[in-house]
Amino acid sequence: MEDKDLMENELLVIKGVCDLYLHGTIESTSTDVHTAFKDALNESLNIQNKIYNLMAEKGWYKTENVEQPQIDKVKQKFAGK
């Protein structure tokens, strides 16, 4: 398996972990549990950001710039809802 594939897999896993910790934070019924999930979520988000930055630096995570007219069109579409 190539480095790019490994990084993509790591990113997918950490995104799933973040989702679980987010729901744990939201659904927790005690302050201690809430804090534990929130701290774990923040740490996971930091890891996710590091993985993303490394992938973007290597050109492995492509993003597209969207022109302002397209942004305005979408904003207008949802402004009335």
Per-residue pLDDT at 80 exceeds 80: no
Per-residue pLDDT at 27 exceeds 70: yes
Of 57, 44, 59, 58, nearest in space to 12 by CA: 44
Mean pLDDT of 17-24: 98
Mean pLDDT of 47-63: 94
Identity of the amino acid at 21: Y
Which ranges in 1-81 belong to alpha helices (H)?
3-27, 31-57, 68-79
First to last CA, the chain: 46
Domain edges within the chain: 3-79
Mean pLDDT of 13-20: 97
Considering only CA atoms, give the Rg of the chain. 17
As a whole number of angstroms, the distance between CA 59 and CA 13 comes to: 20
pLDDT computed for residue 1 by the predictor: 79
Mean pLDDT over the full length of the chain? 94
pLDDT band at 81 (very low <50, low <70, confident <90, very high): low
